[in-house]
Amino acid sequence: MTTMTWDRTGYRINGRPEFLISGEFHYFRVPPADWRRRLELFKQGGGNCVATYVPWAWHEPEEGTFLFGDRPERDLEGFLKLCRELELFVIARPGPYEYSEMVYHGLPEWLVKGHPEMHAVGMDGKRRWQAAMSYLHPTFLAKTRNWFAAVCPVLAKYTVSRGGPIVFAQFDNEIIGIHEWFGGWDYHPVTMGFGKADGRYAKFLKTRYTDIAALNRHYGTNFLDFASILPHEPAAKTIEERRRARDYHDFYLDTIAEYCATLVDWMREFGIDCDTCHNCIAPANHVNFRNWKSLATNCIVGVDHYYALGMDWEQNNPTPKYAVRMFVEMEMVRALGWPGSVYEMPGGSCSDFPPITPEDAHCCYMLHTAYGMKGLNYYVFTGGPNLPEIGGMTAEYDYQAAISARGEVRPLYHTQAEYHRFLHDNAWLAGSERVADMHVGLDWTTFLKTGFTSRQDDMVADGEAVQLLHKGFLITAHCASRSPNLIDITRGELPTDLPIFIPAAACMAADIQRRLIAFAQHGGRLLLAPVLPHLDEQFRPCTILRDFLGATPPKLRLRSENLAAVCVGPVSPHATIGDIWEMPAPAGATVIATEKFSGATIGWKQGNVIWLGIQWVHAFNEELTAMRWLLDQLGAPPPAVDCNNPNVWTSLRTDGKQSMLFAMNLFSAPMACRIRVKQFDTGEIKLAPMEVRTFLIP
């Protein structure tokens, strides 16, 4: 076999940049007699890897009885040997959780039914749904270790270092999902150690606060010791409750990290020596992994990017709103140091309606490529009969996949093959980067699940900053033919070559505020909206950035029906969908935005820094002009791409030698446009619905 390496720019096979093209292939569902034909079809279609769950429930049907070869559908080694023979890499995902529309999400029934004591619980003591376990519960860990002790040695024999096909071993799946989907975080008293001086929670708090008096000051409480502290659930109201909620949030993520590290340790102990990986639930769950040092060096994190899994999904096809979410995900993964990877790329859908059409799917794949995806795994490439013992949903696990449950080749197969030909023909894209002409700053804490902050009084919640990013800056930027890179403002040196737009909430760590001040002092150009932070991430007063700018607290100015219209520079007044905030310009600053009816100041420029009191939501073409004008004020370079139709979005990728322009029509109707990149000019072109057209630029 060959080697597979990776860094933030992409994957390398034998040192050469290549796309990872994987397809989910469940040996336990696909009829074994058809394994070879379907795998060969995938390989012929341009794939180089398959991924599979290795379901605990399937291989340990009774406790202590591990079955890996009693029937062909359990012949894991046979499957791995076949993949080796066919020179397909393998991503092995032994759980403990799989989900995969299986009964109990892939856990054995004997485990779930026999051990109610380890089910996750809420703060009210009520159990979450029955397959939601408390990850670190000693019983769950002990049973999982038994499973890993049985399955990992089987997998270990087939890692790449041993001439096998396995390049990545995934621990668990879509971590936290099982809690979040079924009621919320886990507050299991045994696992978390509530009420005990040496309990995990007490120890966490003691490390954070050292003495109980400090904690009581912070919480506004009178606890006698760390052991007696119970967390406050999200939906906290007061600052003190928010602090307790956020502490538990940090603690909860620590327990997840410990769980992940434990699983990885066991994988290593039982012989698995390839890199590990994890498939995160959207949105932005991968941010949780950013500080998990023990995993970071040889662990790669990807994401799930479905656009429609049923009728309750907002869209039936990739839309601009979907594209922006995917853009953010790809940018975050890149900023965190991983190659853009989608470990569940829509290869169908778990329901039959709405349909996943080849045209929509192709658009989805191409827009990901435009935004920097370097590796993907179709979920699923093919299914099969749904094992009656462990399969939920339907008699066949068909998934509208490229190869049907019964083995027929569907049009989607040819679409995927065509897409793979594009990737192979343009292999240089595997090492390419997107050309940016502005920066958007990311404060990771903003993106963590933030049920514990909400709009209260004049306090802008983290979630609102995320909204401003998705529905404001980024939609406008894409429509205005600007190309932002998202950059990590929490560490490393901030590049001063391009202005940074920052969606700012009430809270921002003191350290980040200081970094932004230093950035501005060194010539960095900055725009913050809709407020300036006045608290740190632990909700302590912290106005160093505001003080640096000489600013006063912004005041929420409620939009009184249609009475608010914003005037940004010379741009003609227009209504805004979001709230607006007013604040007089500090000494030395220039007013750059006002509200038309009241004349209130809602934006000013102080040195290199613009504050804009608009909870930006894209609605009008005037906003395109406003963004361009604001970028001009901050001395941004001209746009990398000039497209004359705001509804055709573009991306320009380069490896330094050649470039490729992606032009995307994410609507159900044709779109005409003309695009220029320096000397290059597409002329008048018309894109079909869902068409992503590429242009090589020498």
Q: Is 304 helix (H, G, I), strand (E, B) or coil?
A: strand
Q: How far is the CB of 595 from a copy of itself (least distance, A)?
A: 13
353 binds a copy of itself (CB under 8 A): yes
Q: Specify the DSSP class assigned to residue 330.
A: H
Look up tokens 């397959």; give the residue.
Answer: 131
Pick from 241, 360, 464, 582 the residue near a copy of itself by CB under 8 A: 360
- Cα 194 from Cα 661, distance rounded (Å): 56
- Cα 347 from Cα 3, distance rounded (Å): 26
Q: Specify the DSSP class assigned to residue 231.
A: P
Q: Which residue, 139 or 621, has its beta carbon nearer to a copy of itself? A: 621
669 binds a copy of itself (CB under 8 A): yes
Other CB atoms closer than 10 Å to residue 449's CB: what's the count?
20
- Cα 527 from Cα 518, distance rounded (Å): 15
Interface mask (CB under 8 A) for a copy of itself, residues 199-238, using x and -? ----------------------------------------
First to last CA, the chain: 35
- Cα 549 from Cα 547, distance rounded (Å): 5
Pick from 667, 674, 680, 685 the residue near a copy of itself by CB under 8 A: 667
**35 token code pair:** 């394994």
Interface mask (CB under 8 A) for a copy of itself, residues 528-567, using x and -? --------------------------------xxxx-x--
- How many chain residues touch a copy of itself (CB under 8 A)? 60
Q: Is the dihedral of CA 235, 236, 237, 242 positive or negative?
A: negative
Q: Specify the DSSP class assigned to residue 471.
A: I
- Cα 697 from Cα 660, distance rounded (Å): 6
644 binds a copy of itself (CB under 8 A): no
Interface mask (CB under 8 A) for a copy of itself, residues 100-129, using x and -? -xxxxx-----------------------x
Pick from 670, 678, 681, 686 the residue near a copy of itself by CB under 8 A: 670
Q: Specify the DSSP class assigned to residue 535.
A: B
Task: Show Cβ contacts of residue 116 under 8 Å, excluding neighbours closer than 6 positions.
Answer: 127, 130
239-269 vs 200-209: helix crossing angle, rounded to 10: 120
Q: Which residue, 593 or 671, has its beta carbon nearer to a copy of itself? A: 671
357 binds a copy of itself (CB under 8 A): yes
**549 token code pair:** 């700018």
Q: Specify the DSSP class assigned to residue 468.
A: I
Pick from 67, 433, 646, 658 the residue near a copy of itself by CB under 8 A: 646
Q: Which residue, 301 or 480, has its beta carbon nearer to a copy of itself? A: 480
- Identify residues 568-587 at the interface with a copy of itself (CB under 8 A): 572-575, 577
684 binds a copy of itself (CB under 8 A): no
Interface mask (CB under 8 A) for a copy of itself, residues 310-349, using x and -? xxx-xxxx-xxx----------------------------
Q: How far is the CB of 315 from a copy of itself (least distance, A)?
A: 7
Interface mask (CB under 8 A) for a copy of itself, residues 438-477, using x and -? ---------------------------------x---x--
Whole-number Cα distances in Å, 219 to 96, 228, 301, 663 = 37, 14, 35, 52
**58 token code pair:** 């399937």
Closest of 383, 328, 286 to residue 31, by C-alpha: 383
Interface mask (CB under 8 A) for a copy of itself, residues 130-159, using x and -? xx----------------------------
Q: Which residues of this protein are in contact with a copy of itself, per CB under 8 A? A: 101-105, 129-131, 182, 310-312, 314-317, 319-321, 351-355, 357-360, 392-395, 471, 475, 479, 560-563, 565, 572-575, 577, 617-622, 646-647, 667-671, 689-690
